Every structure is written in C-alpha cells, then in structure tokens.
Structure 1
C-alpha cells in the first residue's frame, strides 16, 4: 500500500491535534489551568479534526482524500472562528453572564457528561485569561488552527501523480 503526500499530511495533522489535546489536558489536570466553554469547543474541534485526518490517512482514493482535506479545512476555519469568539467573550464581560453559543454546543453534544475529564467546562470567560510560556492560550490555539488550515488546503489542491 503506497503512502501518498496527502496521507502523510493527514497523519501529521492527526498527531498535531492529539498532541494539542494532550498539552491542554496536562495544563488542565497538572497545572490547574481551567478551560472555559470556548476552550472546550476548540478542544472538540481538534478532536474531530484528529479523528477525520486519521481516517483520511487510510483513504487511497484521490477524490475521497481531497474531500477529507476540504472537511479538515472547514473544521480548521470553524476552529479559528471559535478562537475569535473566545477572544470576544473575554473582552465583553457581560456576555459571560449568560449561556454562550459554546455552552449550547457542548451541552448538545453530550461529551461533557460522557467524557468529563476531556470536555467539561471548569471556568468562565469572565475569568482571567490563561498564559502558557507568556503567551495567552488562545494564541496557541489560533496558531495551530491556522497551521492545520494551511496543511489541509495544500493537501486539497496539490496534484499527486
């Protein structure tokens, strides 16, 4: 079975996503950095991208693997939107007093009760932002979503012969 350029990118994307989730879990459970609802939505998007890209690694059809790359691109853009919404929520403390769209997404998936150690919200967007190595956590997440989008878009448009 031949591994193509696109398949190698899919496994890279999957590794990046699950490494990101692992870092978030270490930050949460070891260093007591509590995630807000938008953080959990981003974590959920990383999880879905990781699964989709892992499945994409095994697809040998050019058309199907391009479709997987497009799906990953769309999910990455949704992740960028979630980061943007997190930043808006931090700057608008009034919006933190009510249920946010992120809370609705998390509640509707049921993952917060199914896998609470991974998808439960322990903080509010009204709390102070969390820093990792002097950089706000949302910047790390935004950077990774941008990298994933670039990788997925390049996988979608590149001809493999």
Structure 2
C-alpha cells in the first residue's frame, strides 16, 4: 500500500509544497489577523517551511519533465535528500522551541536570530520574518488546545516520513511491478 502511495512521487512533492505553504499561510493569518506574535524559533520554522516548499516544487517540476520510470524516481530521490534534511532541521527547531526556548523569557541572540540577521530577512520581508515576541510569550499561544510549535513539529514529521519513503524506495520498482512479481512467485 505504501508503494502505491509512493508511485505518485512528483504529486507527493507538490502536495508537500502545498502543505508547507498552507502552514506558512496559516501562521501569517494567525499573526496578522489574530495577533499571534512569533518568536525567533517560530520565524525560523517559517523559513524552513519555505525551503521545503521550494525544494519540493523544484523536485516535482523536474520529475515531471523527466520520462516516467527509473529516471523520474532518481530525480525524486535527488530532491528527497534536502527535503529530509530540512524536515529534520524543522523538527529539531520545533522540539527545541517547545522543550527549551518556551521555558525562557529571553531568546536573545539565539541561533534563529543569527540566521535571520545574516540573511537580513527581518528588514527585507518584515511581514513574514519580523520577530515580535519572546519564546515564553509565543509558547502560550494555542490552536485547538496545542501549542503552535507542536503543530509545526507534526507537519515536519509528516514531511520527514514522506521524504524518507521517497528517498529509501528501491529505484526502478513500482507497486505494479512488485505486485506482478509477487503473483509470479505464487
């Protein structure tokens, strides 16, 4: 059953990109409509969601431009590696935010702030990357009873699971091929 799901790998990459853009959009709606103020770790996770979306969109387009079969699966695998790494980074960021940073009243000069400062993102795109809360304040916001970083972590976990499935899939084997091999052995 998992193999059938993975047979649609370019579509999966587009779906992940769409889900990450939806997560980013919902964070922006929460911030600008409902006054949910983001901390440095929240903003870093937005950047990671944007990175995953970019990788998945590029991977989906490239995979669709390649003839179906082994070459397409190889292209999907190439783009699945950065997907897995970004999803892991996002999962670490969400976990750190929940377990460590949310307990602190100050996240001054934290790793996320250094990254945002390095790329000058707060100045270039303040609507998305402006830090307006400390980690303790941001940790108090809830969506359906759970902190936002838990929702973010679940999304990163989904990206990681699908990315690993695409990356570790045997090249050249589709579910139809595996299914016919199974029946020929019987």
Q: Does 1:24 align with 2:27?
A: yes
Instruction: Report the alpha carbon displacement of residue 58 of structure 1 after superposing the two structures with TM.
Output: 1.1
Question: 4+ residue runs of structure 1 moved beyond 3 angstroms?
Answer: none
Distance 1:6 1:145 in 2: 18
1:44 alignment counterpart: 47
Q: Which runs of 5 or more structure 1 residues have no equivalent in the other structure?
A: none
| TM-score of the superposed pair, with normalisation by structure 2 | 0.79
Match of 1:131 among 135, 142, 158: 142
Q: Does 1:118 align with 2:128?
A: yes
Distance 1:98 1:110 in 2: 16
Question: Which stretch shifts more, 109-118 or 7-16?
Answer: 109-118
**Which aligned pairs between 1:9-158 and structure 2 lie closer than 5 A?**
9-60=12-63, 61=71, 62-87=73-98, 88-93=100-105, 96=106, 98-127=108-137, 128-158=139-169
Question: Which stretch shifts more, 32-41 or 102-111?
Answer: 102-111
Q: Aligned Cα RMSD in Å? A: 1.5
> Deviations 1:60-89 (Å, cap 9, x if unpaired)?
343232021111011000001111221211
| TM-score of the superposed pair, with normalisation by structure 1 | 0.90
Contact 1:9/1:155, CA 8 A, preserved across alignment: no
Query: How has the CA–CA distance of structure 1 residues 149 and 104 changed in structure 2, closer, same or farther, with 3 Å as cutoff?
Result: same
Distance 2:86 2:58 in 1: 15
Distance 2:122 2:75 in 1: 31
Aligned length: 156
Structure 2 counterpart SS, 1:59: helix
Question: Which stretch shifts more, 130-139 or 43-52?
Answer: 130-139
Q: Which runs of 5 or more structure 2 residues have no equivalent in the other structure?
A: 1-6, 64-70, 175-186
